[in-house]
Amino acid sequence: MKRKNKFAALTLTASLMLSGVVMMPADFSGPATAEAAKPGNPAAFDKKVTARIDERRIYEDVRRLSVDIGPRVAGTEEERVAAGMIRERLQSYGYEIDVQEFAIPDTMVGHLSTSGGEEVTVSIPSGSASTPPDGLTAPLYDAGLGYPEDFTEAAAGKIALIQRGEIGFRDKIDHAAAAGASAVLIYDNSEQSGPPNMSIGTDAPIPVAGIKKVSGEALLEDIAATGGSVTLKVDALSGRTSQNIIAKRTPKKGTNHEIVYVSAHFDSVPLAPGANDNASGTATALEIARVLKSYPIDKEVRFVFVGAEEIGLLGSEHYVSTLSGQELSRSLTNFNMDMVGTGWENATAIYLNTVDGLPNLSTESAMAAGERIGTPSELVLYKRGSSDHVSFHEAGIPAVNFIRREPGTAALEPYYHSPEDTIDHISIGRLKEAGDLVGSAVYSVIRSN
Ligand code: BES
Ligand code: ZN
C-alpha cells in the first residue's frame, strides 16, 4: 500500500467513529480461547510485522521478568536488574540507548512479628510514619472499624488493630492517633492473596501497616484476646533511584523527523510478580523493537521503558520532562502498553484508553490495523488514565494505553496488584494479539515504504 492509502485508511476509520459506527464484532461473550477472529485483509506491510512477532519470545521475557526476577518495586535491586536486562536486549538489537536515572521519594518498608515468634506479611503505605529503629513493641487493641467510639482509654500506647471498611483509611488512622495509639494495623475485609495496598495521604501521625484478613483475624484471636504483643518496624528507605531505558532509531535520510513513542513500565507493586502488570507490556514492546529494528522508516521511533510507574507515573513524567521544546514539537504520538497479556477469561476486549476519551493518531492507527489484520478481540475506545500515557498526554503528545478488560464492565483481572499476578495467568495467544496489533499500528505510522 502506498502512503496515500495508508492515510486514507486512517481517515476512513475516523469517519466511521465519528458517525457512531460500532467497529467491533458483536461476539464478545466467549471465553479467551474462543475469541473469534475478525475477517482481516492485512496489507503487505502488516504481514512484515505479524509474520515475525514471536509470542514465545514475548512469553519467555514475561518469564524472565516475573519469575526469574519477580516483584520489581521502584528503587529496588530487582527493578534495576530488570532495567539492565532491557538495556542489554535493546543494545543487542542495534538501537542507540539512553539510560536515565532519577530520584524517587522515600519508600516505606515494614516488618511485623508476634510475641509468639510468628511473622506477618505487611504492606506499608507511603505516608506512614516510621518506628524507632528497633521497632515498636506493644499489646494490640481491637478497635473494630476504627470509629471514634471504638477507642477507649485502654487504646493509649497500644497498637490499634482495625478492620478495613465503612470509613476511609485516614479517618481510622487519625482516630487511633487521637486516642493515643502508638501505631495502626489495618486488616482487609475480604480474602485477598496479599495485604492491602492503601492510599492514606501524606504525613500520617503514627506508623501504619496493612495486613491480610486472615492475619488480622489470627492476631485478634491469638494476640489481642490473650494479652500478647507485636513488634512493628517501619523504616523509610531514602536516596533511592529508578531508571528509564530509551532505545532510539532514526531514518537514514534527513533530520528533524517526527517522533513516535512506544512505552511500557517494567516496575511492579510490592509482592506482585507483575506478570501482566506489566511484564506483558514490557515484553511485547521488546518484541516489537526486535521486529522493527531494521525496516526502513520515515519517522524516528523511540522505545521508552519506564520505571516507577506504580508510585505515581514517575518514570514517564521524568522522561517527558527531559524532552526539549524542539523534541516536543516533533512528537507525533505515543503507544503505551500496560496489562496486555492476562488470560482472565472475561477480559475479551482490548481497551484503547485515552485521557480525554477521544480518538487520536495512535487509536486511529490501531483501530485501522485491527481491522486489516483481523484482531480477534473487540477494540474499545475508552476514557481512562492510570498509566504512562497520561504523562505523554500532559506533555501535549497524543497518547493511548492498550489494556485488556472485560467488555461492558471495563473490569480488570482479579489478579491485579496481587501475588496472583503470575505467569500462570498469562495467555500466550493474547501476547501475540497485542504484539500484532500494536506492532502493525506502529509500523503503519513509521514505515517509509
Ligand atoms: N496497570 C495499572 C492499572 C491501569 C489501570 C492501567 C487502567 C491503565 C488503565 C497501573 O500500573 C496502575 O496500577 N496504575 C495506578 C495509578 C498510578 C498513577 C499509580 C492505579 O490505577 O491505581
Ligand atoms: Zn501497570
Measured between its terminal Cα atoms, the distance across the chain in Å is 8
**pLDDT averaged per 10 residues in sequence order, the chain, 449 residues:** 37 36 34 60 97 98 98 97 98 98 92 95 94 96 98 98 98 98 98 90 96 97 92 94 98 96 97 97 99 98 98 97 98 98 98 98 98 98 98 98 97 95 98 98 95
User: What does pTM read for this prediction?
Assistant: 0.82
379: left (phi over 0), alpha (psi -120 to 50) or beta: beta
Q: How far apart are CA 104 and CA 15, in angstroms?
A: 44
The b/e string for 203-229 (b: 16+ C-beta within 10 A; e otherwise) is ebebbbbbbbbebbebbeeebbeeeeb
C-alpha cell at 176: 487511633
Q: Is the CB of 257 under 6 A from ligand 1?
A: no
Q: What is the pLDDT of residue 39?
A: 75
Q: Is the CB of 401 under 6 A from ligand 1?
A: yes
Q: Which of 79, 317, 338, 393 to mutate to test the pocket of ligand 1 (most atoms within 8 A of CB)?
A: 338
Residues with CB under 5 A from ligand 2 (ion): 277-278, 338
Q: What is the pLDDT of residue 37?
A: 67
CB 65 within 8 A of CB 72: yes
Give the ligand whose atoms come closest to the C-alpha of residue 266.
2
Q: What is the pLDDT of residue 36?
A: 64
Q: How far apart are CA 308 and CA 424, in angstroms?
A: 24
Q: How far apart are CA 413 and CA 78, in angstroms?
A: 24
Q: How far is the CA of 328 from the centre of ligand 1 (A)?
A: 25
Q: What is the pLDDT of residue 35?
A: 64
Q: What is the pLDDT of residue 71?
A: 98
Q: How far is the CA of 386 from the centre of ligand 1 (A)?
A: 4
Q: Is the CB of 268 under 6 A from ligand 1?
A: no
Q: Which of 199, 352, 386 to mutate to test the pocket of ligand 1 (most atoms within 8 A of CB)?
A: 386
Q: Is the CB of 336 under 6 A from ligand 1?
A: no
Atom of ligand 1 at shortest range from CA of 390: 18
Among protein residues, the one with the nearest Cα to ligand 1's atom 22 is: 386
Q: How far is the CA of 377 from the centre of ligand 1 (A)?
A: 22
Q: How far is the CA of 280 from the centre of ligand 1 (A)?
A: 14
CA within 13 Å, CB half, 365: 24
Q: What is the pLDDT of residue 38?
A: 75
Q: How far is the CA of 219 from the centre of ligand 2 (A)?
A: 32
Q: What is the pLDDT of residue 107?
A: 83
Q: Is the CB of 339 under 6 A from ligand 1?
A: yes
Q: How far apart are CA 100 and CA 408, in angstroms?
A: 39
